[in-house]
Amino acid sequence: MAIVEEQIPEVTMLTHPTPVTAQMEGLRVKLPYDLYADDVRSLDVTGGVTVGDIADVLPSRMRNYILIRIKPFSETRILV
Amino acid sequence: MTTLVPVTYKGGVYRHDEIMDLIDDLGGYIVQKHVMAQDVVLQSFVPRDDIDLIRTVVKPLAGDVIEAPLVGTEIAVVSPSLEIHHLPHTACDIAEYLRRSGAKTNMIGLARGFGKRIANLNDEERDVINEHDLAVYVLGNFEECIEHKFPALRRGIQVPIVVTGAPDRETLARIVDPPVEGYVGGVGRIMHRFKRPEELAKLDELGTRSPAPWTPGGTPLHGTRSPSSRPA
């Protein structure tokens, strides 16, 4: 969540009460999917590992939001 | 090993950055920060042993630290419709009460949830509910109606479900097939906001019936907040 808020400044300009919403399996980012999905996927988590490597970035059925679902360790074999 | 517990901090904007630094320094996490005018609400995980320390630090700032077992979850409160026929008071009160225990709730009023025989769930509603961590179905008074209608309203839902309705808990458990994760009886069509003690007790029961992910078995909400924080 901190990475999204730090590296995509548009998130801080949104007027939604919770522009980035925490869920148990991931996050909901209230930015348009078409414009920002690739930016979110390429966010650097640490040491060259990107969000796209450790999570699925999906279009949400709720408006045009972005849904991030964290992949399990057994699938990614990446420990951050 | 340090156990992290989910808590909500409520206080003013003044010096709230010190509280955030304190939680970071103690090894906790801030999950969500809401700034609403002069108020700040921090939903966070803090080490169990340090809660008293945080309470001591926030006392001069008139802040409040409350245990909130549902921090970090997004919950769908599903009503057959948001029209007065399905009395939104109940749905609103449930949504608000779950927020107090740290959840982010979204209310979903179904487009075609009317009618025992014709009630339906469309694909958009199904997918939106499945994006949540939990769905709370706010149903009505009649056992017969819930029995016939609920299978249609839950079709394709893969997230855990809690059912509320006027029949008692045992009856709900009997008529809902296949079983769901939680039942809260005695919450039917109530024509006013929840304010009587027995109604508030039902909301507390709902908070404990919702599967709390971080504290196995859920933490009872009774006694975790002052009576003054309840709706008047």
Residue pair B106/B132 in contact by the 8 Å Cβ criterion: yes
Q: Does A62 touch chain B (CB under 8 A)?
A: yes
Cα dihedral A65, A70, A76, A79 sign: positive
**pLDDT value at position B209?**
66
Domain ranges (residues) in chain B: 4-67, 74-209
Answering whether pTM is above 0.90, one says no
Give the residue ranges of chain A where pLDDT is below 50: none
Give me the pLDDT at residue B211, please.
54
Q: Is A67 on the interface with B (CB under 8 A)?
A: yes
Give the CATH number of domain B74-209; options: 3.20.10.10, 3.40.50.12280, 2.40.160.10, 3.40.50.2300.
Answer: 3.40.50.2300
Instruction: Tell me which chain B residues have a C-beta less than 8 angstroms from the C-beta of A60.
Output: 131
Q: Centre a 10 Å sphere on the Cβ of residue B96 and count the other Cβ atoms it contains.
A: 15
ipTM confidence score: 0.89
Q: Could you tell me the mean pLDDT of each successive run of 10 residues in chain B, 232 residues long?
A: 89 91 92 88 92 91 90 93 83 90 92 90 94 93 91 94 92 91 86 82 76 44 39 38
Q: Is it true that B4-67 and B74-209 share their CATH fold?
A: no
| B74 vs A contacts (CB less than 8 Å) | 21-23, 28
φ, ψ of residue B200 to 5 degrees: the values are -65, -35
Q: The dihedral of CA B169, B173, B175, B178: what is its sign?
A: positive
Cβ B73–A24 below 8 Å, yes or no? yes
Domain covering B4-67 assigned CATH 3.40.630.30 in the classification: no
